[in-house]
Structure 1
Amino acid sequence: MPASENTSENAPGPTSELTSPGPRTSALTLAASLERYLRYVSIERGLATNTVLAYRRDLGVYLAHLAESGVTRPGDVAASDVSAFARALSTRGDVPLTAASVSRMLSSVRSFHRYLVGEGQVEADVASDTTPPKLPSRLPKAITVEQMAAVLASTEGDAPQQLRDRALLELLYATGARISEAVALNVDDVIDNDVVRLFGKGGKQRIVPLGSYARTAIDEYLVRVRPLLSSRGAATPALFLGLRGQRVSRQNAWLIIKAAAERSQLGIPISPHTFRHSFATHLLAGGADVRVVQELLGHSSVATTQIYTLVTADTLRDMYTTAHPRAREA
């Protein structure tokens, strides 16, 4: 039988394309593993776009540091490499990082290495013993009820922009929404003018009531302003629109809050999170249960919400010291 007709000679051998295995996961470069990790946290864990971008920035710095030492594959990373990176972050002299930034970057590194172990790309978690620097306890910064009233009053007026800004700020204070949650709202997320549907971290949904002031401001905006702004741009379901008819961005919302703070002349910095902190602090000071506030804020752990009880306790202590005749030494 001719060789060309010998089926055993023509059968695909162990190195044939039909039987050769694809590239093994363990053979991936760190750069390729990083891209898989970012897809994982984005799609499977549902993390916010900004969080994924932060992971990309932090881990990009980490991989560049490893590359300088010739480490380019997950299995080549040793615990000493992670420790060296941690020391480099803490001692870099050109642009010193704060303890919070170092802690965040090391947290990203630890998460990445846990993923590598979970995916079977490496056998051991070489970052497990890396300890981020201890951060000082920082209490959330809230403003008083009177100061918040002054900020909200600074948006009074009948101009379209004033009505839009008032609706946004009233909603932030009434719901404790993160600024990203507020600008992501669509018209349909305001339900029966009584509650608003917010989408938090990881796409978690929560329903938060609207107070009477926020309801009035949003109703007025929807009737008098949004149709006008919507006619200036392409159709969008967004609740809050810019002057050109597009969805208000986080940056624009920051500018709206900054302008309101300047007009109120409080002399203190006001940020979007000031509204969220004040929302929680004022609720607790008014007697709300911490578990209820946890649900309203969308915190996964009540321990996070309990930080606000410390703020309330400090406020009560200050008021006591000022008002009680025997609270201070003669």
Structure 2
Amino acid sequence: MTAATEVHAATDASRTVADFAVHLRAQRGLSEHTVRAYLSDVEHLLAYAGRHGRPEVGSIDLGVLRGWLASMAAAQRSRSTLARRGAAARTFFEWAARTGRVAADPALRLASARAAQHLPTVLAVDAAARLLDVARTRADDADPVHLRDWAALELLYATGARVGEICGADVDDVDLDERTLRVVGKGDKERVVPFGLPAADAVGAWLVRGRPALATADSGAALLLGRRGARVDQRRLRAVSHEISALAEVDDIAPHALRHSAATHLLQGGSDLRSVQEVLGHASLATTQRYTHVTAERLRSSFQQAHPRA
């Protein structure tokens, strides 16, 4: 292949990836995080194919796809990475075949590893209460950021929302009278989730005594603010979770563990699976069902510790 041909193939591949990005954002309704991951995976595949003499998208066949996944398995990539990259390739070539960019879909018979199913980290009910008690006590000083941290952790546990959903919420999304929070989840799907009195107390204190102290002309409608008045960053709330879990002497957790804990505690308290699915914003009931394994595992552990004939 001549240098000019290689340049043309690379340009054509770049244009195809750009069109695929438009498709993902405009038609699939995927989160920006997922879009970036899929694009990175496809670019990784095209780079691999180019090194193996297949620089044109239409020249990639099943053998190249299998070789690509095998190379990552040999490099000891995790099963979740292999599963995601296989899914990205299938999505890309299904779109490319449907839109006439390739003659046939080479990924139709592509099999890839399934992501490992790990039981999510879950705090015990008393540990979650201790974590939030410490956050509340910490908020008694004159620092408005500590009020924000208390409100954020209470909302994460009370609503089971994702940390990105909490960070993306605006002031008008909170109804303290009804004790509900409107969030926008994956695929730009909006849902309204309830929260209880402890979270209402924390959010109320933040709105009255914390947020006004940090708000600037550039704060806009953001519910939770950083120290400089901008919308709080997810990374900041992750750091807060680690800091307060250490202070409370509970398992070191990230914000997502509070989501897992909320789901598990709802099921343990008698909530039905469909209701928990609605609260969490899961598109599939199968995703919510993994929390039944957590509760079953805890029951088994309790049985083995307590029953004389375990």
Q: TM-score scaled by structure 2?
A: 0.91
Q: CA deviation at 1:192?
A: 4.2
Contact preservation (8 Å) 1:142, 1:281: yes
Q: Is 2:122 the partner of 1:137?
A: no
Equivalent position to 1:285, from 268, 271, 276: 268
Equivalent position to 1:48, from 21, 27, 31: 31
Deviation per CA, 1:282-313, whole angstroms, max 9, x where unpaired? 00000000000000000111111111011111
Inter-partner Cα distance in structure 2 for 1:263 and 1:127: 50
Equivalent position to 2:14, from 23, 28, 31: 31
How many correspondences in the alignment? 297
Q: Is 2:89 the partner of 1:104?
A: no
Equivalent position to 1:224, from 188, 209, 221: 209
Equivalent position to 1:126, from 90, 96, 106: 106
Contact preservation (8 Å) 1:171, 1:214: yes
Inter-partner Cα distance in structure 1 for 2:21 and 2:176: 38
Contact preservation (8 Å) 2:50, 2:56: no
Contact preservation (8 Å) 1:31, 1:63: no
Aligned to 2:165: 181
Q: CA deviation at 1:30?
A: 2.1
Aligned to 1:62: 45
Aligned to 2:152: 168
Deviation per CA, 1:65-119, whole angstroms, max 9, x where unpaired? 1111232322211111111111111113xxx311211111111111111111121
User: Aligned partner of 1:264: which letter?
Assistant: A
Inter-partner Cα distance in structure 1 for 2:115 and 2:167: 31
Percent identity over paired residues = 37
Contact preservation (8 Å) 1:28, 1:73: no
Aligned to 1:298: 281
Q: CA deviation at 1:240?
A: 0.2
Contact preservation (8 Å) 1:28, 1:74: no
Report the secondary structure of 2:193's partner residue: strand
Aligned to 1:117: 97
- Choose 1 or 2 for highest CA Rg: 1
Unaligned runs of 5+ in 2: 1-9
Contact preservation (8 Å) 2:80, 2:116: no
Q: Is 2:188 the partner of 1:208?
A: no
Aligned to 1:312: 295
Higher helix residue share: 2
Deviation per CA, 1:211-237, whole angstroms, max 9, x where unpaired? 111011001100011111103x52311
Inter-partner Cα distance in structure 1 for 2:116 and 2:195: 35
Aligned to 1:251: 235
Q: CA deviation at 1:28?
A: 7.8
Report the secondary structure of 2:145's partner residue: helix
CA RMSD of aligned residues (A): 1.7
